[in-house]
């Protein structure tokens, strides 16, 4: 049947012999793509009398939305918190390399740094679509410096700041600009944090609670003012206590405003969070779980010494420590590894594991109408995976941008 080109001259690609993750389940149907978008085949047949120009046999692969990493500090020798002359080529390298791990969009993350570093780096980060050049950039995630000294983790203490009078102006002066900022992690127990949370939320910036000694009521108040995320749950916060569960208590709080969902990041690398803690969080609040790598410059590199912003870190296997200490400092796990570990540790379904790295981060950022799903008219950013959840190919806007080389296997 000849395709009817009256609507668009762009070729229509039909992916056959696959299981598509749609509406929370793997469905055995074909995926249709045109001009970088997922196509509704019924409209194509009945309204346009059209058909596919190209058919691709997926050999029974799973097709899932591309992964979205909202907390990644760098990788492959590149540190997003280091102001260098070739910062742009560094971010380009990471965005290219993470394609093989299924990441199609990400938020480059800066750890606590001096104002001069933010002023130098942030103008060099721009929101952009993904493609053959690499994963798309959704905007920066600024983790600190408005965080707790007691729970600073790997953040340099001399750079930490509190909110002074005119708190939001203070934040603006520190960062220099919020133009490309998508997420800000702060400690909600800080004085004047409420006004800062409201101002950031008003500008469409996601506020995340983390590196904090907040009690539950302080955390609930922050959510009532607009905070929607928790930075790496269980890490760099007060441990769960039955009389005051702290930020962790948000997972089952009854004080969350109606219609609002609190999301929480989890570093599912087998190091940062015990599998039992991962299971507790997932069972308590499955729809809020967002997998993040929290990857540092050492991801993809051999063990040894690397940087994380102002600090030197040491990689020993999958453990990363601030040099000379036992303080954990980010991760070297890749997103596909985190997805597999999460599924194994929790025993959750394949669908659930994949959505924690795609649908949930998209919902957190309010972009689920175009990313994180394979719904009709959404961006054709997707992965082909085998049943063990190893990535075989990565597509952005319907174009293949990475494929597993099987010749050498």
Which residues, at least 6 apart from 293, have a Cβ–Cβ distance to it below 8 Å? 69, 71, 72, 267, 269, 299, 331, 333, 334, 335, 338
**Is 235 flagged in the annotation as binding?**
yes
User: Which one, of 338, 352, 266, lies nearest residue 21 by Cα?
Assistant: 352
- Cα 7 to Cα 3, 34, 52, 53, distances in angstroms: 10, 11, 14, 14
Question: Could you give the CA distance from residue 269 to residue 307 in angstroms, rounded to a whole number?
Answer: 20
Give the single-character DSSP code of 287. G
Q: Is 232 annotated as a binding residue?
A: yes
DSSP, collapsed to helix, strand or coil, labels residue 340 as: helix
Our answer to whether residue 294 is catalytic in this structure is: yes
- The reply, when asked if residue 333 is annotated as ligand binding, is no
Which tokens belong to 142? 């600024």
Tally of CB atoms within 10 A around 282:
22
Residue with token string 């040491």 = 314
Peptide bond into 145 cis (omega under 30): yes
Tokens of 59: 């050999």
DSSP letter, residue 146: S
- Quote the distance between the C-alpha of residue 199 and its chain's center: 23
Strand 67-72 and strand 78-79: the pairing is unpaired
Task: Confirm or deny that 128 is annotated as ligand binding.
Answer: no
* 328 labeled part of a ligand binding site: yes
Closest listed residue to residue 153, CA positions, set 309, 302, 268: 309
Q: Are 281 and 264 in contact (CB under 8 A)?
A: yes
330 assigned binding-site residue: yes
Q: Is 236 annotated as a binding residue?
A: yes
Residue of 294, 336, 379, 381 marked active site:
294
- 101 in a known ligand binding site: no
272 is annotated as contributing to ligand binding: yes
CA distances from 293 to 106, 215, 369 (A): 11, 26, 24
- Which residues belong to the annotated binding site for Zn(2+)? 143, 211, 232
- Which residues belong to the annotated binding site? 143, 154, 211, 232, 235-236, 243, 272, 328-330
- Which residues belong to the annotated binding site for substrate? 154, 235-236, 243, 272, 328-330
List residues with catalytic annotation: 294
């Amino acid at each position: 049947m000849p395709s009817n080109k009256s609507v668009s001259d762009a070729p229509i690609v039909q992916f056959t012999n696959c299981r598509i993750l749609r509406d929370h389940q793997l469905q055995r149907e074909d995926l249709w793509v045109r001009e970088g978008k997922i196509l509704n085949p019924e409209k194509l047949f009945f309204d346009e009398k059209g058909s596919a120009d190209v058919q691709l046999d997926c050999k029974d692969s799973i097709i899932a939305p591309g992964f979205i990493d909202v907390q990644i500090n760098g990788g492959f020798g590149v540190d997003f918190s280091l102001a260098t002359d070739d910062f742009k080529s560094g971010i380009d390298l990471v965005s290219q390399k993470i394609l093989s791990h299924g990441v199609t969009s990400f938020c480059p993350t800066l750890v606590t740094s001096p104002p001069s570093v933010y002023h130098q780096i942030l103008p060099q980060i721009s929101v952009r679509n993904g493609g053959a050049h690499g994963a798309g950039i959704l905007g920066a995630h600024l983790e600190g410096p408005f965080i707790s000294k007691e729970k600073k983790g790997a953040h340099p203490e001399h750079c930490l700041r509190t909110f002074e009078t005119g708190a939001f102006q203070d934040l603006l002066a520190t960062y220099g600009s919020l133009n490309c900022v998508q997420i800000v992690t702060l400690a909600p127990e800080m004085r004047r944090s409420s006004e800062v949370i409201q101002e950031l939320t008003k500008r469409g910036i996601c506020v995340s609670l983390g590196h904090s000694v907040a009690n539950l009521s302080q955390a609930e108040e922050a959510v009532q003012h607009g905070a929607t995320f928790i930075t790496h749950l269980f890490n760099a916060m007060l441990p769960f206590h039955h009389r005051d569960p702290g930020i962790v208590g948000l997972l089952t709080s009854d004080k969350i405003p109606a219609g609002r969902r609190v999301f929480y990041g989890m570093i599912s690398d087998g190091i940062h969070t015990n599998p039992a803690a991962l299971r507790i969080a997932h069972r308590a609040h499955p729809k809020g779980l967002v997998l993040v790598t929290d990857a540092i410059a050492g991801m993809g590199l051999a063990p040894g010494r690397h940087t994380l912003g102002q600090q030197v870190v040491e990689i020993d296997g999958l453990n990363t420590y601030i040099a000379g200490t036992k303080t954990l400092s980010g991760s070297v796990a890749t997103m596909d590894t985190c997805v597999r570990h999460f599924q194994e540790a929790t025993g959750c379904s394949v669908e659930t594991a994949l959505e924690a790295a795609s649908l949930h981060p998209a919902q957190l950022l309010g972009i689920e109408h175009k990313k994180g799903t394979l719904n009709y008219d959404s961006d054709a950013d997707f992965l082909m995976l085998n049943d063990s959840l190893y990535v075989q190919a990565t597509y952005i806007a319907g174009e293949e941008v990475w494929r597993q080389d099987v010749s050498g296997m």
